[in-house]
């Protein structure tokens, strides 16, 4: 137990440091994007940090497997380079036992990742969706001052309203100049498409004038109801809506996107023990080589794993890859790679011994 506590402490300490560094990198990048959106008026500043808090489970479900993978390489690489593993082997401590001790914290991380992936991340995405829904109700005309011409849409559109309702949801006596198009309407309100999530300014009882530059001719169109698109649903919003689906609703669904999402969430869990089996033999280095000797090829192996996994998820969503075979095949391939790294050198050694 003393030896297990020592090994576990080495792994947990290293993993905590790696997780902190990776978390700061991911959150700082996200914070910059959120602050840029807040500066552009797309989101309110009050929700920026709340958004980061809700995204933490989705960050951690990706970071923890990588952090465990790197921590095994660093911690055990140091022990091999400083001959601690040599001493353990000399005292009768087998590699199989060391692997068993390593798998224990790996199982704990797998449970934590499973909790994030199957429950907390969808829950956080649901809260994010509610937040986005609230933000989507804040349209550009809510920022208008009655009786004043104001430029919106990066200066391409000029809007004027004589007055606003008390809840700022209805504009009265509206004038809009958008390029070569002029519109007059008695009132306007917001409409959100349930299919696409796009926002429209719905004008009622008005006229549209299409002017041709350099000509005295123009076209007049009278309308009872007319929609002007304010904003498209963002890619981030679409991704959040997909991630917000509870895991229970994904199970048994025939929808390709739902199947891909379910397989992705399960894949993050399956990935943990496979990465442990890969990192364990790659951490074995010669003291002369140094602890970072196999770090680069190990990181490349991990990046290929996660990159191909993301690509295959997209292929399953677009039905370019069978949901019954797609993503699972990659895990099988990497499991075979792990077995070859674990037992391949011993098989080759025995084969050479027999030939001699």
Are 209 and 194 contacting, i.e. CB atoms less than 8 angstroms apart?
no
In sequence order, the β-bridge partners of residue 183 are: 176, 208
With 80 as the cut, is the pLDDT of residue 303 above it?
Answer: yes
248 in a structural domain? no
272 in the same domain as 125: yes
CA distance 213 to 254: 53
148 in the same domain as 130: no
Q: How far apart are the first and last CA of the chain?
A: 41
DSSP per-residue letters across 314-350: HHHHTTSS-TTTHHHHHHHHHHHHHHHHHHHHHHHHH
162 in the same domain as 124: no
* Token reading at 224: 């009872």
Residue 235, burial from CB neighbour count under 10 angstroms (0-12, 13-18, 19+): exposed
Q: Which of 189, 204, 237 is the last residue of a domain?
A: 237
324 in a structural domain? yes
Amino acid 233: pLDDT? 53
Q: Could you give the 3-state DSSP secondary structure of residue 160? A: strand
In sequence order, the β-bridge partners of residue 202 are: 189, 227
318 in the same domain as 260: yes
Are 268 and 117 contacting, i.e. CB atoms less than 8 angstroms apart?
yes
Residues 6+ apart with CB under 8 A from 287: 80, 81, 82, 83
Residue 116's pLDDT band (boundaries 50, 70, 90)? very high
- Mean pLDDT taken over the chain: 82
Amino acid 166: pLDDT? 72
What is the average pLDDT across 196-225? 79
What is the average pLDDT across 307-333? 89
199 in a structural domain? yes
Are 159 and 152 contacting, i.e. CB atoms less than 8 angstroms apart?
yes
Q: Tokens 């996994």 appear where?
A: 309
Q: Which of 192, 209, 237 is the last residue of a domain?
A: 237
12 in the same domain as 45: yes
- Its domain, for residue 333, covers 2-136+256-355
267 in the same domain as 130: yes
CA distance 219 to 200: 23
61 in a structural domain? yes
186 in the same domain as 274: no
DSSP per-residue letters across 24-61: HHHHHHHHHHHHHHHHTTSS-GGGHHHHHHHHHHHHHH
148 in the same domain as 132: no
249 in a structural domain? no
What is the domain count for the chain?
2
Closest CA to 330 of 268, 280, 276, 262: 268
260 in the same domain as 232: no
Give the tens place of pLDDT for each residue, 259-287.
999 999 999 999 999 999 999 999 888 77
167 in the same domain as 19: no
202 in the same domain as 168: yes
Amino acid 53: pLDDT? 83
Q: Which of 204, 237, 270 is the last residue of a domain?
A: 237
DSSP per-residue letters across 170-225: EEEEEEEEETTEEEEEEEEEEEE-TTT--EEEEEEEEEEEEEPTT-S-EEEEEEEE
Amino acid 111: pLDDT? 96
Rg (CA), the chain: 29
Amino acid 15: pLDDT? 93
Q: Could you give the 3-state DSSP secondary structure of residue 288? A: coil
What is the average pLDDT across 161-172? 77
4-to-23, 74, 97, 106, 341 alpha-carbon distances in Å: 27, 17, 10, 13, 23
219 in a structural domain? yes
Amino acid 356: pLDDT? 61
């Amino acid at each position: 137990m003393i030896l297990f506590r020592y090994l576990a402490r080495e792994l947990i300490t290293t993993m905590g440091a790696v997780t902190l560094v990776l978390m700061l990198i991911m959150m700082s990048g996200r914070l910059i994007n959120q602050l840029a959106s807040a500066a552009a008026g797309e989101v309110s500043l009050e929700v920026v940090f709340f958004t980061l808090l809700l995204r933490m489970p989705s960050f951690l479900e990706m970071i923890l497997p990588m952090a465990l993978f790197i921590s095994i390489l660093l911690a055990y690489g140091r022990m091999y380079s400083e001959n601690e593993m040599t001493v353990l082997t000399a005292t009768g401590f087998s590699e199989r036992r060391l692997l068993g001790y390593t798998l224990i914290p790996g199982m704990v991380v797998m449970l934590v990742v499973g909790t994030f992936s199957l429950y907390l991340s969808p829950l956080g995405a649901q809260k994010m969706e509610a937040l986005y829904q609230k933000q989507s109700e804040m349209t550009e005309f809510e920022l208008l001052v009655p009786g004043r011409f104001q430029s919106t849409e990066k200066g391409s559109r000029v809007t004027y309203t004589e007055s606003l309702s008390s809840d700022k949801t209805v504009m009265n006596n509206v004038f809009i100049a958008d390029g070569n198009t002029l519109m007059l309407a008695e009132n306007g309100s917001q409409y959100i498409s349930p299919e696409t999530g796009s926002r429209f300014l719905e004008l009622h009882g008005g006229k549209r004038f299409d002017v041709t530059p350099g000509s005295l001719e123009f076209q007049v169109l009278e309308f009872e109801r007319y929609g002007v698109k304010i904003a498209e649903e963002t890619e981030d919003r679409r991704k959040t809506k997909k991630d917000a689906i509870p895991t229970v609703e994904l199970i048994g669904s025939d929808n390709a996107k739902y199947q891909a999402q379910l397989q992705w969430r399960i894949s993050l869990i399956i990935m943990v023990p496979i990465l442990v089996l890969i990192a364990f033999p790659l951490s074995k280095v010669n003291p002369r080589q140094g602890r970072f000797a196999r770090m680069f090829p190990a990181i490349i192996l991990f990046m290929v794993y996660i990159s191909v996994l993301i690509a295959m998820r997209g292929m399953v969503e677009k039905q370019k890859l069978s949901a019954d075979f797609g993503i699972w095949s990659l895990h099988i391939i990497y499991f075979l790679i792990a077995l070859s790294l674990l037992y391949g050198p011993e098989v080759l050694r025995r084969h050479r011994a027999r030939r001699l």
